[in-house]
Amino acid sequence: MKVKAVKTKFWRPNEDYLTVIVESVQPFLMNGDIVVISEKAISTSLRNIVDESQVVPGLLAKLLVTIWMRLFWGFFLGKICRFKESSINHLRFYPLEEGASHKQVVLRCSGFLHALKYGSEGGIDISNMPSSLACLPLERPQIQARQIYEKLKKKTGKNIIVIISDTDSTFSLHNLHFTSHPHPIKGIKNFGGVIPFIMGRALKLRQRATPLAVEGVKIEVEEALLFAEIAHHIRGSGAGRTVWDMVKRYDVNFSEITWNMLDMANHFPIVLIRR
């Protein structure tokens, strides 16, 4: 396969992402190409975001931060899941104030079992987002995949496959594929909450990015997982894989990251794959 990561500007809220996608891939697109697009980039463009600084955390959210995140994840679950020592140290010093507000958002939007996860809870993501903003998952990603496919088909006339994917992990045990992301494609089981992640990591199961929608020619689940994982590896992590990476990169506090800072990073929300 040939793979090309397509660099674009950082997609802000109200971005006309359909036009950006067409203009970015039209010079390269050929029949049979697979166009893989980041869920978070689309969701941000659609203003599917929440300002966590405006959220008042309750007692449960505070307990999740002080006891569950700092103690259980920092001293037990992080080791069970085979995290790097640097990641475990981050969990032991999980931010109290910002963390509690984040967990409150997760409790409201995704529920208690998702709030037990260490990050990307219920598909809610705060990496590569400015200030106190969090990006929520797409409720019906198939709708956006269909719109992108139809726009590209109309403008280019090419027969292609469009995939929307997320970096949230899908684990595979033979023909069983499962994830904690709330909206995977058909054929991937959504067990919800923290259990799939802990089980997958502890058992060293095969771990790949999650395809959320496929439009165009029908493909098998295994192919969709392969394409999502290829795109995940080639597009990189923008301003940082985690909020701690962003803080280190820009040498600021969690809430001081701005849109302009994110603009300076290289962003590859689109990946073209050619078989």
pLDDT digits (tens, 9 = 90+) for 22-33: 999 999 999 999
pLDDT at 12: 95
- Band (156; pLDDT cuts 50, 70, 90): very high
Rounded average pLDDT over 59-66: 97
pLDDT of 134 reads 96
For residues 114-131, average pLDDT = 93
Whether residue 186 is predicted with pLDDT greater than 90 in this model: the reply is yes
pLDDT for 15: 95
Q: What is the DSSP string of the chain?
A: -EEEEEEE----TT--HHHHHHHHHTTT--TT-EEEEEHHHHHHHTT-EEEGGG----HHHHHIIIIIIIIIIIIIIHHHTT--HHHHHHHHT--HHHHHHHHHHHHHHT-HHHHTSSSSGGG-B-TT--TTEEEPPPS-HHHHHHHHHHHHHHHH----EEEEEEEEEEEEETTEEEES-SSPPTTSEE--SSHHHHHHHHTT-EEEEEEEEEEES---HHHHHHHHHHHHHHH--TT-SSHHHHHHHHTS-GGG--HHHHHHS-EEEEEEEE-
Q: What is the mean pLDDT of residues 112-138?
A: 94
Banded pLDDT at 248 (limits 50, 70, 90): confident
Q: Determine the CATH number of domain 2-42+139-274.
A: 3.30.1330.100
pLDDT of residue 236: 86
Query: Which residue is listed with tokens 């958002």?
Result: 105
Average the pLDDT over 240-247 and give the result. 86
pLDDT reported for residue 29:
95
Are 193 and 116 within 8 A, CB to CB? yes
Is pLDDT at 227 greater than 90 in this prediction?
yes
Q: What number is the average pLDDT over the span 228-232?
A: 97
Using 50, 70 and 90 to split pLDDT, how confident is the model at 157?
A: very high
Confidence of residue 18 (pLDDT cuts 50, 70, 90): very high
**pLDDT confidence of residue 239:** 85
Does residue 192 surpass a pLDDT of 80? no
> What are the sequence ranges of the domains in the chain?
2-42+139-274, 50-135
Predicted local confidence at residue 145, as pLDDT: 98
